[in-house]
Amino acid sequence: MRSKTFRGGVHPHDNKHYSNEKPIEEFPAPKRVVIHLSQHIGAPSKPIVAVGDFVKKGQKIAEANGFVSIPMHTPISGKVVKIGDFPHPIGTVQQAIEIENNGKNEWTDSIKDNEKFLQLSVDEMKNQIKNAGVCGMGGAGFPTIVKLSPPKEKPIDTAILNGVECEPFLTADHRLMLEKPDEIIAGLRIIMKILNAKSGIIGIELNKKDAIKIFKNKLKNSKNMKVVPLKLRYPQGAEKQLIFAATRRKVPAGGLPMDIGVVVQNVGTALAIYEAVRYNRPCIKRITTVTGEIVKSPKNLRVPIGTMISDMINYCDGTNKNIAKIISGGPMMGFAIPTSETPITKTTSGIVLFGEDDIIDTTEQVCLRCGRCVDACPMNLTPTFIVENVKNQNYEEAKKVNILDCMECGSCSFVCPSHIQLIQWIKLGKLEVGKLKKKE
């Protein structure tokens, strides 16, 4: 069978060899954690603890603030030390709750094992997922409960699990698929039951042949679930590109996948959903890859949310050379962050470290009009025109050339021979266009 894909995209070297053979390790409970109140898309959560309170592992410390929001839980037991501003892995400073570990590792009593979890009613399942604070673990962090509650006029027939992991360097999803395939399939079953979807698809990129093989074996006898191997190409794991490759359906501009009857969830989210429904366990840990050429022993770690990146680097035996750049997320879409004293959030899928030798000079040259960015853009946009408008502060024109449809995958910047920082300009332009909207 020919492998499926989409139009456009680029082929960066995947660099997954640093960590794709390393099994997932359980990260020991850190001395302190910092839980950000805004780890997801939507309204920041509201803290419900005060400084000085004692909290138990798994206890809710912040509640959802509206429908598009999620509650937060603490991954360690201890004392609330501070509620204030902390650096956020998207490169800003935001409000967070700091908790000091008391070393007792006490769980709250809400945890139970319900082996007949698939017989729960849809509402019970949704309630448990909502209370567990699950949000998309792939990177964007869309609250899962919102994705699982489509309006009645938009029936969902297909649920897709995203196991593509097209970002270079990252192997967290890959290892997860190798080590916990049954849990992921159970997660997909729960999603399909909630959405009343007829078919379930697991999309995996061809550089993870071992994972494809495992899932093909497991789903041999399944009638409504299948694996779709996808061609090696970035950004194959982007929601709209994945949907097109797997189902040949196109999400309308400015629309959501639920408009065409599809819901996409990351495999990590599927695991979190499974744990929430079966064990009633809140989302307090995630799998994160710490990698890069300069890391002494790159690892895939199951880390409590809120662990400091510096602690994780130390756990991986530090680095050979001086760190020149820390990137939270993958190198294509991730954020360079100013300090390693930054906690990870529910959406931090990887920490990539670069030494001074890996940084290339990216002084901007003039545009050659070669059109490579246009060829590479998976959304069929013309990045060079958009950027020209942003540079001239012509934001209304930028909006007309669909700047808001850009998903910031970075393919255009990757191919630009003039080193124009297209994606940075577009990000700036999107902010300004957003301001225009507010003015109206």
Partner 1 sequence: MISIAIIVLGCLGIIFGIGLAVASKKFHVKIDPKIEQIEKALPSVNCGACGFPGCAGFAEAIVHSDAEINLCAPGGEECVHEIAKIMGIKASTKERKIAVIQCQSGGINNTFLKFENTGIETCQAALILSGGQNLCKYGCLGYNDCVRVCPFDAFAIDKNNMRIVDENKCTGCGKCVDACPKDLIQLITISKKVNILCMSHDKGKMAKTSCGNETVCIGCGICAKKCPVSAINMEDNLAVIDYEECVVCGICADVCPTNAIIAKKIEEK
Residues making contact with partner 1 (CB under 8 A): 87, 91-93, 336-339, 362, 421, 424-425, 427-428, 431-432
CA gap 16, 433 in Å, rounded: 37
Closest distance of CB 18 from partner 1, Å: 24
Question: Which CB sits closer to partner 1, 49 or 327?
Answer: 327
Distance CA(23)–CA(365), nearest Å, equals 43
- Minimum distance, C-beta of residue 362 to partner 1, in the bound complex (Å): 7
Strands 60-63 and 46-47, by their bridges, are: antiparallel
Torsion of CA 141, 144, 145, 148, to 10 degrees: 140
Between residues 242 and 309, which has the closer beta carbon with respect to partner 1?
A: 309
How far apart, in whole angstroms, are the C-alpha atoms of residue 160 and residue 4?
14
Residue 43 CB contacts under 8 Å (≥ 6 apart), including other chains: 64, 65, 66, 68, 69
- Is the CB of 243 or the CB of 403 nearer to partner 1? 403
User: Cα dist. 172→147, 246, 274, 291, 389 in Å?
Assistant: 23, 22, 17, 11, 38
Residue 387 CB, nearest approach to partner 1 (Å): 10
Nearer to partner 1, 99 or 398 (CB): 398
Angle at 296 between CA 294 and CA 301, to 5 degrees: 105
CB 341 within 8 A of CB 31: no
Min dist. Cβ of residue 423 to partner 1 (A): 10
d(CA 139, CA 170): 12
Q: State the nearest-atom distance from the C-beta of 348 to partner 1, in Å.
A: 16
Closest contact distance (angstroms) between CB of 294 and partner 1 is 18
Least Cβ distance, residue 88 to partner 1 (angstroms): 9
Query: Minimum Å distance from CB 358 to partner 1?
Result: 13
Rounded to the nearest 10 degrees, how much is the dihedral formed by the CA atoms of 130, 134, 135, 139? 180
Nearest to 229, CA basis, from 257, 265, 190, 203: 203
| Residue number, 166 or 337, with CB nearest to partner 1 | 337
The alpha-carbon radius of gyration of the chain (Å, integer) is 21
**Shortest distance, position 352 Cβ to partner 1, whole Å:** 16
**Beta carbon nearer to partner 1, 283 or 387:** 387
**Choice between 162 and 328, CB closer to partner 1:** 328
Least spacing, CB of residue 440 vs partner 1, in Å: 17
- Compute CA 137 distance to the chain's CA centroid, rounded to the nearest angstrom: 4
Q: Which is nearer to partner 1, 370 or 431 (CB)?
A: 431
Q: Which is nearer to partner 1, 103 or 338 (CB)?
A: 338
Our CB check for partner 1 shows the closer of 222 and 392 to be: 392
Q: Which of 166, 160, 150, 410 is nearest to 266 (CA)?
A: 160
